Amino acid sequence: MTEKIVVLGTGGTIAGTAASSSDHTGYTAAQIGITSLLQSVPGLQEALQGRELVSEQLAQLDSKDMDFDTMRRLAQSCVHHLAQPEVRAIVITHGTDTLEETAYFLHRVIPIELQAKPVVLTCAMRPATSSEADGPRNLRDAVLVAGDSHARGVLSVCAGDVHSAKTVQKVHTYALNAFSSGDVALGEPGVVAQVVGDQVLWKPVFQSFLDEKRHIDRIESAQAAIDLIVNTSVAKIAWPRVEIVLNHAQATGSIVRALLAEATSQDPLCGIVVAGTGNGTVSESLQSALNEAQPKGVEVIVASRCAWGGVHDVSALSAVKARIDLMLKLLRAA
Ligand code: SIN
């Protein structure tokens, strides 16, 4: 049986085009189809190591516009393909802007037994038409990682670094290496592997980090939400509305009160994630507005606007990932 690697295209800068090959920033994302993109990847055949490549255009969007219905279709497609014995792994091309949200969502909803096979998201900071496009190398690296015998779980690959879905964050607006998983020397997980030439060099953190924390996540997760997303054919899912509010110097409660005022019984406000300052601190004015929201049925979660460290004893997740967790917890069938 020839093993397959399935590549799902969703758009992003990796599929973007600009008017000139010297234009690295003034471009339109999500223009080139995944089949064409794969035709211009040097070293792809070597990275496949005899495996067959199958591609599918799942979406074609700028990831700032990523929506939960597309994320759900992506999860269902991953579950379908991973369950096929001949499928070795999945690679997903995605915009960098919300890659960490999709990666975390998939990490939470793909059943753990299927995550014995890897799902590898990749991206680019320069459009496909750029004379110095980074997409082809990232795509080749992603295929290499997808075929590596140690790879499992949801990972992302950019600029030679391999990140876990749980820790990856976009931290730079234009650098080719725009992502970080923190610095091991500072007590953060760091990257789980690096692609050097034709080799994937795994860090010791990979085993302990992915095994332990992923399993704990699963136990704590909302199993009903996972079943609803991946195992049922419910066409319409009521995604709970969860907003993110930032604390800052002189933050008032106005945004929270405006959110409460516009909520209706058809479109209720279900949750607020506060990106608090430092260790999740919130100004007195903002806190009193949050105190008004909770009795109205709004669940409030505190994260930190700091990139690393999380909120001690509450959550290690960034605000955007804490929002996904809360949505999964509150999810219900329409
Ligand atoms: C996007 O996120 O789709 C556009 C930006 C990027 O991919 O870098």
Among 4-13, 181-190, 237-246, the minimum mean pLDDT is found in: 181-190
Candidates 25, 91, 104, 99; CA nearest to 63 is: 99
- Average pLDDT of the chain? 92
The pTM (predicted TM-score) of the whole model is 0.95
4-211: CATH number: 3.40.50.1170
The ranges assigned to domains in the chain are: 4-211, 239-333
**pLDDT given at position 332:** 72
239-333: CATH number: 3.40.50.40
Q: Which tens digits make up the pLDDT trace of 94-150?
A: 999 999 999 999 999 998 889 999 999 999 999 999 999 999 999 999 999 999 999
pLDDT band at 9 (very low <50, low <70, confident <90, very high): very high
**pLDDT given at position 189:** 85
Distance 239 CA to ligand 1 centre (A): 24
Q: Say whether 70 is catalytic.
A: no
13 CA: nearest ligand 1 atom: 7
Give me the mean pLDDT over the 38-67 stretch.
97
Q: Where are the beta strands (DSSP E) in the chain?
A: 4-11, 17-18, 27-28, 52-61, 87-93, 119-122, 154-158, 161-164, 169-170, 179-180, 193-196, 199-202, 237-238, 241-246, 269-276, 299-304, 332-333
Distance 290 CA to ligand 1 centre (A): 33
Residues with beta carbon inside 6 Å of ligand 1? 11-13, 29, 62-64, 95-97, 123, 125
- Does the pLDDT at position 219 exceed 50? no
CA distance 75 to 89: 14
Closest residue CA from atom 2 of ligand 1: 95
